[in-house]
Amino acid sequence: MVHDAARPFLNAGHIQALLQGLGGADGAILALPVADTVKREMPGNIETAQREGLWRAQTPQAFRTQPLRDAYGAWSDDRPPTDEAGVMEAVGGVVRLVPGDPMLFKLTYPEDFAMAERLAGAARVTRTGQGIDAHRLGPGDGVWLCGIKIAHDRELIGHSDADAGLHAITDAILGAIGEGDIGDHFPPTDPQWKGAPSHIFLSHAADLVRQRGGALINVDVTLVCEKPKIKPHRQAMREKLSEILGLPVDRISVKATTTEGMGYTGREEGILAQAIASVETPV
């Protein structure tokens, strides 16, 4: 059997059909009758070609080994063959047509890959995770939030750079794939993460999704604080998250709110971040 590996939806039924079709023949190919009207481009015009008896050849194609080797040995055309059936035909070998399958379409153009991804979606599941993180405020010259440093008369206190936004998103992604939380992967007791930039943690979580054959769909984070004001920096945060996660900006949401002076965020003792992330993974 010869397969061009450009048709990803091959299944056992296709193989069985070819084996059955090979009985009493040198080869068997999967093929579909041409259903569309076929046009031939002519100088200055087009003409309609007859589609009766025309078939679209697919792969895999099955052959008896020695006849196929002999047919290749006898190939004399300067041009390479487009498929093995053509090689067998050239020496008068008998090749049977076996009913093909539209799902065995060939990936050739970019739009073909988009279609394949949509079809493969039936075997995938969407998961959602939630993350929450908070850090105390102390004396300093600015806070890190969602990968952006905002000038401020305070700073967030933590083992790393204390970016509550990135920490919450990291936990949301880890939660979506059942991989624990940020402390499991980057223990605060480990000195190597002292003062570390939190984009390392977020990139790690995104890599775990990709290693599972999955993909991030979107992230949504809400920052809760009285100060600093988030809105002037929101777009920069979205762009930074887009860079870290490899997601389009329109799949990233950064919002902010206050607690109207209530609680530790209202008293400006700390900043809270809440995040939700959706991922798609194989079933």
pLDDT digits 0-9 by tens, 62-121? 999 999 999 999 999 999 999 999 999 999 999 999 999 999 999 999 999 888 887 776
| pLDDT surpasses 90 at 4 | no
pLDDT at residue 282 greater than cutoff 90:
no
pLDDT of 150 reads 97
Distance CA 250, CA 242 (A): 9
State yes or no: pLDDT of 51 exceeds 80: yes
User: What integer best gives the mean pLDDT of the chain?
Assistant: 94
**Integer distance in angstroms from the first to the last C-alpha of the chain?**
30
Q: Give pLDDT, residue 87.
A: 96
- The predicted pLDDT at position 122 comes to 59
Residue with tokens 């209530």: 262
* 125, two tokens: 């599941």
Calculate the CA dihedral of residues 95, 101, 106, 110 and round it to 10 degrees: 160
The band of 181, judged by pLDDT with boundaries at 50, 70 and 90, is very high
Q: What is the pLDDT of residue 117?
A: 80
Predicted pLDDT at 231: 96
How confident is the model at residue 5, as a pLDDT?
Answer: 84
**Predicted local distance difference test score (pLDDT) of residue 121:** 63
Residues 6 or more apart whose Cβ sits within 8 Å of residue 200? 186
Q: What is the pLDDT of residues 9-50, one digit of tens each?
A: 999 999 999 999 999 899 999 999 999 999 999 999 999 999
What is the Cα–Cα distance from 279 to 257, expressed in whole angstroms?
25
Domains along the chain with CATH numbers: 12-108 (3.90.550.10), 125-282 (3.30.1330.50)
Q: For residue 7, what are its two tokens?
A: 């048709």
What is the rounded average pLDDT of the residues 217-238? Answer: 97
- Identify the band that residue 125 occupies on the pLDDT scale cut at 50, 70 and 90: confident
Q: What is the mean pLDDT of residues 154-173?
A: 96
Q: Which two tokens stand for residue 118?
A: 């949509």
What's 109's DSSP letter?
S
